[in-house]
Amino acid sequence: MAKIDFGGTVEEVVMRDEFPLEKARKVLSDKVVAVLGYGVQGPAQSLNMKDNGINVIVGQWAGDKVCWEKALQDGWEPGKTLFSLEEAAERGTIVQYLVSDAAQMMTWPQIKPHLKEGDALYFSHGFSIVYAGQTGVVPPEFVDVIMVAPKGSGASVRANFLVGSGINSSYAVHQDYTGRATERTLAIGIAIGSGYLFPTTFEKEVHSDLTGERGVLMGALAGIMEAQFATLRKNGHTPSEAFNETVEELTQSLIRLVDQNGMDWMYENCSATARRGALDWRHRFREAVMPVFEELYESVVSGEQTRIVLEANSAPDYKEKLDAELREMRESEMWRAGAAVRALRPENWGK
């Protein structure tokens, strides 16, 4: 493992040159990887492995017409490489459990009987294992329980793979029955297209993931944007101006500078006025949101967020309520303005 200094703390990471694809293929040469679920991560991970020469099959509930049709369009063949969840689990020796967290709770009684001694049960999220008291997902003692968690959406996992860049992923071993669990985990991590892998635990992964999704990555980002847009509109700014100053400049310019060389470099490449104001106001924002993040983290660790997720996602009217919430966001003035602004980008002219 390579030792990398992450801001003063040295961590060990696994690079692709240390664990090359050829080694991953050798480790997985006699394995059948069964990817259960063709929703968010399933398509990307299965297609990447297939392209990398791994023996992959897909398990998907045929009643989900959207996911089943997507699997067909992507080239998976019913009865050959596309099966029901149960049959894929029976055929697999490494079972990738990539249905949603709520679906894992609901389908576990049907999947568990198909796990055989020496199999590996794979996750890309620690949710069901860490909160087993609520999900009921308790693996048998005779299987490896492993995880590779890409730090990005399934779309990013596939897109990065196609351009050859890879995506960074965390990995963990929760249960090592065979004595080969770590090797299997790293092999899968490389096969799905990870650029590098860093170690974690199921607990740390799920605590950081749930906090990040509700915080900076999605929840906080959306909330801060909405607050700034509303403030500008309240003070007489046009929708296009409010959106450009709130979203467009961030996504089309500034965040790319942060990605290249960090926040300080982005500050250095902005005007002196912008730089001074940002340096001053970042402390105010940090102090304002720190109590919110502390409350959020405690809610994650306690299992309260898990309860909310499982209760909401298991409700019979879940899809209708979700559609209504997303429609409210999509039809808000800010995101209607956003659609108009995006249409004005040169790459969209004539579309």
0.75 surpassed by pTM: yes
At the topology level, CATH places domain 212-348 in N-(1-d-carboxylethyl)-l-norvaline Dehydrogenase; domain 2 (1.10.1040)
CB within 8 Å of 214: residues ≥ 6 apart: 220, 296, 300, 305
The residue written with tokens 């067909």 in the block is 72
Question: Active-site residue numbers?
Answer: 125
The percent of the chain in helix, strand and coil, each rounded to the nearest 5, is: 55, 15, 30
Q: Tokens for 186?
A: 């790293």
Place of tokens 């997902």: 137
CB-CB contact of 12 with 2 (8 Å): yes
> What single-letter amino acid sits at 216?
V
Q: pLDDT by residue (tens digit) across 46-102?
A: 999 999 999 999 999 988 899 999 999 999 999 999 999 999 999 999 999 999 988
Looking at the DSSP bridge assignments, the partners of residue 224 are none
- Which pLDDT score is estimated for 194? 94
The whole-number pLDDT of residue 247 equals 96
Residues of the chain under the 70 pLDDT cut: 351
- Determine the CATH number of domain 2-201: 3.40.50.720
3-state secondary structure of 333: helix
Tens of pLDDT, residues 5-41: 888 888 889 998 899 999 999 999 999 999 999 998 9
Q: Where are the domains of the chain?
A: 2-201, 212-348
Q: Interior CA angle at 114 toward 108 and 117, to 5°? A: 115
Can you give the pLDDT at residue 347? 80
Cα(89)–Cα(104) distance, integer angstroms: 13
d(CA 351, CA 349) in angstroms, rounded, equals: 6
> Which of 291, 224, 216, 286 is CA-nearest to residue 258?
216
Which residues, other chains included, contact 318 with Cβ-Cβ below 8 Å and sequence gap of 6+? Answer: 312
**Residue 209 confidence (pLDDT):** 93
| Nearest in space to 279 (alpha carbons), one of 268, 292, 289 | 268
Are 129 and 137 a contacting pair, CB within 8 Å?
yes
Domains 2-201 and 212-348 share a fold: no
